[in-house]
């Protein structure tokens, strides 16, 4: 399933409309948002903003079942991948 389709399903489940995402995504028009949906162009920041706007979470679930949310500071690593500051 395309990311745009998944977001549409989430919108329906949350009782929201696509237009409800214009402001949280910092877009200036509904046309810009329609293009994002049409071309399935989403980056991680967009997805975090969508999740926040729809009172949802996005992240990774490890093989041992640990949930690592995107956008949260709980597991923030300073200085990049190797943890250097």
Q: Where are the beta strands (DSSP E) in 1-85?
A: 59-61, 67-69
Please give the pLDDT value at position 82: 52
41-58 pLDDT, tens digit per residue, is 999 999 999 999 999 999
16-33 pLDDT, tens digit per residue, is 999 999 999 999 999 999
Please give the pLDDT value at position 70: 86
**Cα–Cα distance measured from residue 35 to residue 4, given in angstroms and rounded to the nearest whole number:** 11
DSSP the chain: --HHHHHHHHHHHTT--GGGGTTTTT-S-HHHHHHHHHHT---HHHHHHHHHHTT---EEE-TT--EEESS-STT--TTSTT---
Domains and CATH numbers, the chain: 3-69 (1.10.260)
């Amino acid at each position: 399933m395309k990311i745009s389709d998944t977001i549409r399903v989430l919108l329906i489940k949350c009782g929201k409309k696509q237009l409800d995402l214009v402001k949280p995504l910092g877009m200036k028009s509904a046309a810009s948002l329609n293009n994002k949906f049409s071309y399935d162009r989403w980056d991680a920041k967009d997805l975090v903003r969508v999740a926040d706007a729809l009172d949802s979470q996005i992240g990774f679930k490890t093989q041992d079942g640990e949930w690592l949310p995107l956008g949260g500071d709980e597991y923030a690593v300073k200085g990049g991948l190797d943890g250097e500051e």
